[in-house]
A and B are shown apart, each in its own frame.
Chain A
Amino acid sequence: MSDQGANGMHDRNGKLDQHDQNDKLDTKNPREPSASRSCQDCAHAAAKESRRGFLFAAGTTLLTIGGALVAVPIVGAALAPAANRNPSKWIPLGKLVDFKVGDTVLVTFTNPWGTPDDGDTRENACYVRCLEAGKFQVFAVNCAHLGCPVEWFEQSRLFMCPCHGGVYYEDGSRASGPPPRGLFEYQWRIADENLEIFAGRLPGLQEDA
């Protein structure tokens, strides 16, 4: 197969062919010292050969070092997002008195790492369920199946997912459908009469919210 390809290259035009042959003549002759050559020529050729070897080794080394150094910022910046292990922060959701016992409400908050460039996606939402005064469950809106936004239905006390039909009870446990587990829950605490959650990453199966 490769023979044909090479022939094809030579067929292209005569000039290229000639250049190839000239190149070959130039390079090949000194490398193959014939018996008739003097020893001076031999030494000359040997010196030339070692210089060539040195240049090749030096070139390879320089390019390898340079290439590796250039790769550091390129690969480093490309992989940087994977290195951020713990992006969550405590975020206030609202005053304790605003949450009525027995209610589950949708609360929005701003992503602590967001920038103005994030637009609407800087915002986030979660469900706060107030079991009794000072006792909460805070659920991520993302379905545990594939992350679609679940909707809370107060009358049937269910969360339903519009994508593949995952359903959860009011305590977040799985009721039916494909989700492998219950809703993701945020850690919460009470600070200065405020409800705070530990958030900043999209919740997922690997790590709770």
Chain B
Amino acid sequence: MTQEKMKPAVMVKRAALDGLRWLDDRTGILWMLRKSVFHRVPRNAKWWYVFGSATMMFFTIQIASGIVLATVYAPSAAQAYESLVYIDEQVPFGWMLRALHGWSSNAMCIMMLIHLAQVFLHGAYKFPRELTWVSGVFLCLTTLGLAFTGQIMRWDADAYWGLGIGAAIADRAPGIGNQLRALLLGGPVISGATLTRFFTLHVFILPGAAIALIGCHLYSVLRNGISEMPKAGEPVDPATYREGYEARVHKDGVPFYPDAARHDMVFCGAMLLVLIGVAAWFGPFGPGALPDPRIIEASPRPDALFLWLFAALALLPPASETFLLLVGPPVAIAILAAVPFLSNRGERAPSRRPISVLLVVLLTTGFAVLTLLGVRSPWSPQMKAWTSTPSDIAFTADRTPLELQGALEFQFAQCRNCHSIGDAGGKRGPDLTTVATRLSWDQLVRQIQQGGGNMPAYGKALSSVETQALVAYLSTLDGGDLRATLTGALEAQPARDAAPEPVAAEHSPRQIQ
């Protein structure tokens, strides 16, 4: 009965309980925990539901690593680059901090896109979760904004010319292009004012927006509950859905923590280890070449996440480009945000929603193909090919002096920047390894002098003698230099000592490979 008889452990426990009671009385924390951490979720919410949690985990890493990076990074155009080098080389763990920030950014975007696709495929955006979806769409935009502005923080050549591309797009807005561009750049040119602007966006405005939107997103998840795994034949009917959901979750649900959270914890933990491994192995992104506009030999490329856009900008028909650039994104965003209002009832199961599945497959394929094209960017001339791409000896062997002179013209007139021979060189124009099988002497002359298709006219750049030499050389490219893979084909090669006939048709196309 008396205090002395109580064991210390019991006393501590009682004191802790008293403390908790006091805390709950003043803050209502137990109620909040009951409503959030322990809220009941469907029993079948398992591995499909981990991607949102993973996105948020990577966002948390971004906040933590970003805050520490901001204590060292100098958001000044004169010092940003050096401060990044300083972080990489002088700050203890600085390189790993930058690597984590860069790779976690990519991971966050990937998890977010998977989360988006999963929610769409499962029809989880339908009644009553329309606004959860809408807040998610804005979170998606904010995240992409953070990724783009983060790329600017690197303040290297890619950042500089990337801003140039942004400015050129803003400039296309009719009537307000100039003002829009000045607002984007903070002045008439890309300068220190541009970096401070994007720094403000990257560390204040967009993270603030993201945190606020995550609050809305999570609140609506708690309010409307986590959607169940979709089942074919169980359509959403707004009139009865809520009652049914609450009854089912009450009867058959489990508390989010610890039951459902186990899956999130395992997945997030595994992803965290993958992130650490990737960041430690591959290291930080950039900074690349100096952001010096006097260095013209730049080949600006965006980060992987935006390569599809880079590709689209090369492939869009020029006539419709301005319209698509200015009208396309707002329309696409509006459609994405309107998805739950276009269909907020009915079947949720992917097996009953073939068009939605097809859409996801098409969009994923489209973005993947554009990204791959962006990596290869065959539309870009290889600016150094004419001086640095080696020529296979086979393509100059057994040529006459005139043809050899033509081979030099081919190299020095930068033909190789756009044209490959034997798979070496630019991919902008057609591969010329077997051009003599397609074009006659006269056609070659006309194509070189007058251009055509996507080729500039070389009439003014090359003299008639140079053109003649070049055509003489191109006329020898009939495929005979290709490595033969068929037995006997080597013996069938024509002798190279005879001058080539002007008409390529004489070299009949042979079966190669």
0/1 string, B274-306, CB within 8 A of A gives 1: 000000000000000011111011111000000
Chain A proximity of B63: nearest CB distance (Å) = 25
B169 proximal to A (CB < 8 A): yes
B293 and A123 contacting across the interface, CB-CB below 8 Å? yes
A113 and B31 contacting across the interface, CB-CB below 8 Å? no
B456 proximal to A (CB < 8 A): yes
B168 and A145 contacting across the interface, CB-CB below 8 Å? yes
Closest residue on chain A to residue B180 by CB atoms: A82
B500 proximal to A (CB < 8 A): no
B414 and A158 contacting across the interface, CB-CB below 8 Å? yes
Residues of A within 8 A of B180 (CB): 82
With known contacts A141-B293, A146-B168, A165–B183 Cβ distance under 8 A: no
B461 and A120 contacting across the interface, CB-CB below 8 Å? no
Chain B proximity of A116: nearest CB distance (Å) = 6
A153 and B171 contacting across the interface, CB-CB below 8 Å? no
A84 proximal to B (CB < 8 A): yes
A189 proximal to B (CB < 8 A): no
Q: Once bound together, how far apart are the Cα atoms of A117 and B191, in whole Å?
A: 8
Residues from 49 to 99 in B contacting A, C-beta threshold 8 Å: 76-81
0/1 string, A162-179, CB within 8 A of B gives 1: 111101011000011111
With contacts defined as CB atoms under 8 Å apart, how many contacts are there between chain A and chain B in the complex?
214
Count residues on chain B whose CB falls below 8 Å from chain A CBs.
75
A125 proximal to B (CB < 8 A): yes
0/1 string, A55-69, CB within 8 A of B gives 1: 000000000000000
A206 and B177 contacting across the interface, CB-CB below 8 Å? yes
With known contacts A81-B193, A82-B179, A123-B292, A165–B318 Cβ distance under 8 A: no
Residues of B within 8 A of A1 (CB): 128
Residues of A within 8 A of B181 (CB): 202, 204, 206
B451 and A113 contacting across the interface, CB-CB below 8 Å? no
Residues of B within 8 A of A (CB): 25, 28, 31, 35, 76-81, 128, 160-161, 164-165, 167-169, 171-172, 177-183, 185-194, 223, 290-294, 296-300, 310, 313-314, 316, 318, 321-322, 379-381, 383, 386, 412-415, 417-418, 428, 451, 454-458, 460-461
Interchain residue pairs with CB less than 8 A apart (9): A13-B25, A81-B186, A121-B77, A155-B412, A156-B458, A160-B383, A165-B381, A202-B185, A207-B178
